Chains A and B, each alone.
Chain A
Amino acid sequence: MSKPKFKNPVVKWIDYRLPIFTFMDHELNHYPTPKNLNYFWNFGSLAGIALVTMIITGIVLSMNYTPHVDYAFDSVERIMRDVNHGWLIRYIHMNGASFFFIVVFIHIFRGLYYGSYKAPRELLWILGVLILLLMMATAFMGYVLPWGQMSFWGATVITNLFSAIPVVGESIVTWLWGGFSVDNSTLNRFFSLHFVLPFVIVGVVILHLVALHRFGSNNPIGIDVKGTQDTLPFHPYYTIKDLFGLGIFLTLFAAAVFFFPNFMGHPDNYIEANPMVTPAHIVPEWYFLPFYAILRAIPDKLGGVLFMFGSIAVLFILPWLDRSPVRSSQFRPIFKIFFWVLVLDCFLLGYLGAMPAEGIYVILSRIATAYYFFHFLILFPLLPYIEKTKPLPISISQPVLSGSYTAAISAAREKK
């Protein structure tokens, strides 16, 4: 790769001593990117922007927030009513969490569909799953901060999950609480961790990007880049595409913030926490519902907890569960169908997580949970032995230049 020529003498002076501009030029300007990326590749940069938005609004919120059981609820109400633009900042933070999860979920399913977790991107994928876990911890603790009824009871139920651990469970829960129930010590430590974990996420995101830039992006047909004819420089081609996607994202985000800011929240969280009364129907935030459904589907306390954490654990080992050498679902006709079944299954689990745990809902939760694990633990390893994959094109350019995949494939065959 040629060394960039900077004209500005100050930039030159700095770059000679601290090659930060060379680095940026390399990673953000020339960075060769497969030329066939579709809009599903926008969600990575969107996730980054969502993270930055959360950090900026979060820092501002914490300037007005009081982490104490007697003041937390009122301090959030004060942010909403009295602090200049406080309502806007809080609604951005509140809805930002939901949009962050929407973006990250799409980003993950993109990876599943196009086989982006396969060699040599296993660590890239694992770092991504780690980010998901950290996000879940951060969002869970953030939701406790406004100290509403859902904050309190969500925290109680989720921390109590650890009491399922044999022998040491109760001591772990007491340790997490710093007392004998969710109380002031719990709120304080959650605030501290909620503040710092996003910065840990930033660190893992950097590692995620280093791993990404090692081999570059995967692409919709999942075959490796063969040379410069298959790529475009990141700037201006993908910077503009990412910006266009950002425009659409911000439009939807702003619509939620300004027109239905409480749509994704729960009204009970506008009632101050009361340790003496549990709301009739407690539900976690929507992004936790599929996991909550799995928890409740298992009729045993420890079993439920293990299956819930297991649903994320299978993602960590996915690169080794999937035995198919073909990355993209475009060439895996059976897998492609099951992919959509999995998507539906996750939506179903999300719906069931919001329903009361009784009657038909319990039965459906069990079926949906069973399917989830079947998909990861049986289908992924075994399907490649049965499935006949479609022939792969020889390069990314070929199908594009000759108009269609079939043309490319026949061209490839003629050559042999």
Chain B
Amino acid sequence: MSTKSNLKSEQDEDKRDFLIVSTYALAGIGAAAFVWPLIDQMNPAADTLALASTEIDLSSLEEGQAITVKWRGKPVFVRHRTADEIKQAQEVSLEGMRDPQTDSERVTKEKYIVLVGVCTHLGCVPLGQKSGDVKGQYGGWFCPCHGSHYDHSGRIRKGPAPTNLEVPSYKFLSDTVIKIG
């Protein structure tokens, strides 16, 4: 074989490689573009996202009482804290807490603590809303599933949960009406 024809076939091969690689790449992009809608359809639909706010009237909630309302399919806890509970929540030292946060970072009005009632471990609903419930070692809430203890501010103090109970975004529409979400 002459050098010339060799060169030619090498060029041919380069061309062919380019064609093959670009074909695969385009086919790959095409396949991914088709798969994405199939995956994304599993994310929350527009109507699910639209159901995202709830209003609560707290006027009948006496000191020491708590209510649970449903928001986005999950329970939201509102507790009207006693002066003593507020004091404990504010004065406890943050040292050694797993997810240190001051009480004031977690409330809008210190009387009312508003929390998503879902344990940050694996999603059970902690006990502590009803008067007879076990409230755990720190007097707030106790998750029976794997034993997480939360304090009056909903902060994780003991047990496997990694973070404090979530505070949903909410605002006071009047002195006693709040809108969650």
Contact = CB atoms under 8 A, between A and B. Distances in A.
A160 B70 contact: no
A127 interface: no
Contact of A180 (B39, B72, B147, B160): B72
A281 interface: yes
Q: In the complex, which range does the number of interface residues on chain B fall in?
A: 20 to 34
A242 interface: no
Contact of A157 (B39, B75, B123, B162): B123
A156 B124 contact: yes
A275 B124 contact: no
A176, A282, A358: most-surrounded residue (chain B CB, <10 A): A282
Interface stretch (B29-37, B41-49, B85-93, B172-180): B41-49
Chain B CB count within 10 A is highest, among A176, A181, A358, for A181
A299 to B, nearest CB: 6
A179 B125 contact: no
Given A153-B124, A157-B123, A280-B144, A180 B73 contact: yes
B124 A179 contact: no
Nearest to B130: A277
B73 A178 contact: no
Contacts of A357: 146-147
Contacts of B61: none
B169 to A, nearest CB: 13
Given A181-B72, A278-B144, A160 B123 contact: yes
B123 A175 contact: no
Interface in A248-302: 275-278, 280-282, 296, 299-301
Contacts of B72: 179-181
B144 A179 contact: no
Given A159-B123, A181-B72, A183-B48, 20 more contacts: A157-B122, A157-B145, A161-B122, A163-B122, A174-B44, A175-B42, A175-B43, A178-B44, A178-B48, A181-B74, A181-B118, A185-B42, A185-B44, A275-B73, A277-B125, A278-B144, A278-B145, A299-B160, A301-B160, A356-B147
Interface of A: 153, 156-157, 159-161, 163, 174-183, 185, 189, 275-278, 280-282, 296, 299-301, 304, 356-358
